[in-house]
Structure 1
Amino acid sequence: MAKKTQKGKKDNRGEYVSTVLSLLDEEENVVSDVQKEIYMDEIRDLPPIKKGELNVSGVYAYDLGDKIEVKVYIRNGLSTNLNLQKIPFLIVNSKGETLASQTFNLASLGKLPPRSARPVKLYFEKKNLKVDKIPQDDWKIVLNGEFNITSKVRPRYEGLPKGISVEDKLVFDKFLDGLPEMEEGEFSISTFSIGLQRNGNILVTTVMRNATNKPITINKMPMTVLDKNRRAVKSNNFIMKDFTVSPYRAKLCNFAFPTDVHPENDQPLDGWSVIYRQVRINGGKNIKRV
């Protein structure tokens, strides 16, 4: 029998998006291919969801005696990863009447990738039912009110130097991939390297990441370089000109501290670090130093 396919399309209410099966890593290795096919068939039969929507759709509600087992698919229609925590659910009928309500902690689901659907079994305690039984032909599960969701973002580079070698790009990419994911709305500054150049400059290379939906412009960058014993070596308040990081992007930036030391060759300053103090920016919030 042919199954209906969930397709992305547009109407006058917005754009619909398709979602694909997503399992936890430990489930991926133990769930059989047959069971995965069943999951994918069920996902294709679900009603479409809109772009930017978090959706829950029920498959069945089964009375276990002391509780009600409800199988649902949680679908992420956003373009970023989601980490779900305490989420309140309602079971309602076609009249909008509440049949059951309960809050579940979904932190164990881990990261829910963009445009994905994950099967979950929820167990409603009988004390949280408003009726004697859930009618099999007249119920659906919905999200209730405000709940705690953190959207995870992993910015990618923009504006890398022209002519950068493949080897150098791989090094920068590896560093970026090793940084922790960011929550939506954050801006972070990370120290990539510190070294002493032959011209006498202590060169600090940073990676700035913007996890907001707006461009972030930095006006001033007060910085202090510390040696491996955490002693202050150099400080400066850099005035930035037209330095902007686009939404969900990362950008390299170099800062030079002049010294009277001129080595024969460039030298890495292993164990040295940087303190960023009262960075002045336009359009951002939640600045983190990583």
Structure 2
Amino acid sequence: MVKKTQHDKENNGEEYVSTVLSLLDQEENVVSDVQKEIFIDEIKELPPIKEGELNVSGVYAYDAGDKVEVKVYIRNGLSYNLNLQKIPFLIVNSKGETLAAQTFNLSSLGQLPPHSARPVKLYFKKENLKVDKIPADDWEIVLNGEFNVTSKVRPRYEGLPDEISVEDKLVFDKFLDELPEMEEGEFSISTFSVGLQTNGNILVTAVMRNATNKPITINKMPMTVLDKNRRAVKSQNFIMKDFTVNPYRAKVCNFAFPTDVHPENDQALDGWSVVYKLVNIDGGKHIKRV
């Protein structure tokens, strides 16, 4: 067994992040507290990583006959979840010479939370070694070139009214938490509710989520309300004024479609939905079925 012990812990003014142990749910139930303490101690001994960095650090390399077992910690220095897929690794020496090269599918690792470290055992096939054996004191494992990483983002609310009740905030939070996570770079619009108000407006409440690293400003929003039978009822192109969703944030927005129907009480339009495009209206009569 080869144990890695050399670590450069000099801080040259870069912004470093600390990482904490992250195990899969099934591992949490079977890994002993003693083993977890060993993991935590090993993580503390790893060299620091920079904010925004995906890092792999080797702990040991062990010749297991037809393969070489390499224990590593994969650390996520980013501020959002990562899902690793096919990742190419190299084992190199201090001269930069390649000792082994192999690509591993790490999708079974699941989601790697922000600022976390996960222990992994990689098994290099002997056919992928460039040398007879990994030298005891001169090896390092590194990520090789481009690799397939998908980042998952869960935006949080901004701009909720200060006077919102605790109950309403819990409802909005629950809705946001139940939406699927987003890929880095996506923007989405989700319908929170559709209802008919006593003033005759069909009120659509939507939640817009920005999973990009830049603010997104919306100037126009084409929308069509569909009844429970998926028939277009109302269609309108809303002009938005200074409506911006900041990076990794979610914002609530209301849209009102006037009608000539005035119920005695506000009522939810169960089964109704919204498409975010303009659709031709077939006579516009279906609202009378409410």
Asked if residue 123 in structure 1 is aligned to residue 123 in structure 2, the reply is yes
Rounded to whole Å, the distance in 2 between the matches of 1:97 and 1:174 is: 52
For residues 10 and 170 of structure 1, do their structure 2 counterparts lie closer, same or farther at Cα, with a shift above 3 Å needed?
Answer: farther
Aligned to 1:75: 75
Check whether the contact 1:92–1:141 (CA below 8 A) recurs between aligned residues: yes
Query: Deviations 1:211-270 (Å, cap 9, x if unpaired)?
Result: 111110001100010001000000000011000011111000000001111000001001
SS of 1:218's equivalent? Answer: strand
SS of 1:177's equivalent? Answer: helix
For residues 216 and 116 of structure 1, do their structure 2 counterparts lie closer, same or farther at Cα, with a shift above 3 Å needed?
Answer: same
Rounded to whole Å, the distance in 2 between the matches of 1:262 and 1:155 is: 36
Q: TM-score scaled by structure 2?
A: 0.91
Corresponding letter in the other structure for 2:12: D
SS of 2:173's equivalent? Answer: helix
Corresponding letter in the other structure for 1:38: I
Rounded to whole Å, the distance in 2 between the matches of 1:201 and 1:268 is: 12
Corresponding letter in the other structure for 1:205: T
Corresponding letter in the other structure for 2:15: E
For residues 152 and 93 of structure 1, do their structure 2 counterparts lie closer, same or farther at Cα, with a shift above 3 Å needed?
Answer: same
Rounded to whole Å, the distance in 1 between the matches of 2:149 and 2:254 is: 35
Shift of 1:9: 8.9
Rounded to whole Å, the distance in 2 between the matches of 1:92 and 1:69 is: 15
Aligned to 1:219: 219
Aligned to 1:188: 188
Aligned to 2:132: 132
Q: TM-score scaled by structure 1?
A: 0.91
Aligned to 2:271: 271
Aligned to 1:145: 145
Q: Which runs of 5+ in 1 are unaligned?
A: 279-290
Asked if residue 51 in structure 1 is aligned to residue 51 in structure 2, the reply is yes
Corresponding letter in the other structure for 1:177: D
Shift of 1:55: 0.4
1:15-34, aligned counterparts within 5 Å?
15-34=15-34
Aligned to 1:11: 12
Corresponding letter in the other structure for 1:90: L
Rounded to whole Å, the distance in 2 between the matches of 1:186 and 1:74 is: 25
Rounded to whole Å, the distance in 1 between the matches of 2:205 and 2:183 is: 23
Rounded to whole Å, the distance in 2 between the matches of 1:79 and 1:164 is: 28
Q: Which runs of 5+ in 2 are unaligned?
A: 279-290
Check whether the contact 1:90–1:142 (CA below 8 A) recurs between aligned residues: yes
SS of 1:225's equivalent? Answer: strand
Shift of 1:10: 5.5
Rounded to whole Å, the distance in 1 between the matches of 2:161 and 2:118 is: 40
Corresponding letter in the other structure for 2:240: M
Shift of 1:277: 2.3
Shift of 1:91: 0.4
Corresponding letter in the other structure for 1:183: E
SS of 1:11's equivalent? Answer: coil
The percent of aligned pairs where both chains have the same amino acid is 86
SS of 2:174's equivalent? Answer: helix
Check whether the contact 1:9–1:16 (CA below 8 A) recurs between aligned residues: no
Asked if residue 261 in structure 1 is aligned to residue 287 in structure 2, the reply is no
Rounded to whole Å, the distance in 2 between the matches of 1:11 and 1:201 is: 60
Rounded to whole Å, the distance in 2 between the matches of 1:193 and 1:166 is: 18
Corresponding letter in the other structure for 1:276: Y
Check whether the contact 1:155–1:249 (CA below 8 A) recurs between aligned residues: yes
Shift of 1:11: 2.8
Corresponding letter in the other structure for 1:71: K
Rounded to whole Å, the distance in 2 between the matches of 1:277 and 1:184 is: 24
Rounded to whole Å, the distance in 2 between the matches of 1:217 and 1:10 is: 39
Aligned to 2:286: none
Larger Cα Rg: Structure 1 or Structure 2? 2
Number of corresponding residues = 272
Aligned to 2:94: 94
For residues 132 and 29 of structure 1, do their structure 2 counterparts lie closer, same or farther at Cα, with a shift above 3 Å needed?
Answer: same
Check whether the contact 1:202–1:258 (CA below 8 A) recurs between aligned residues: yes
Over the residues paired in the alignment, what is the CA RMSD in angstroms? 1.5
Shift of 1:137: 1.1
Aligned to 2:235: 235
Rounded to whole Å, the distance in 1 between the matches of 2:73 and 2:92 is: 17
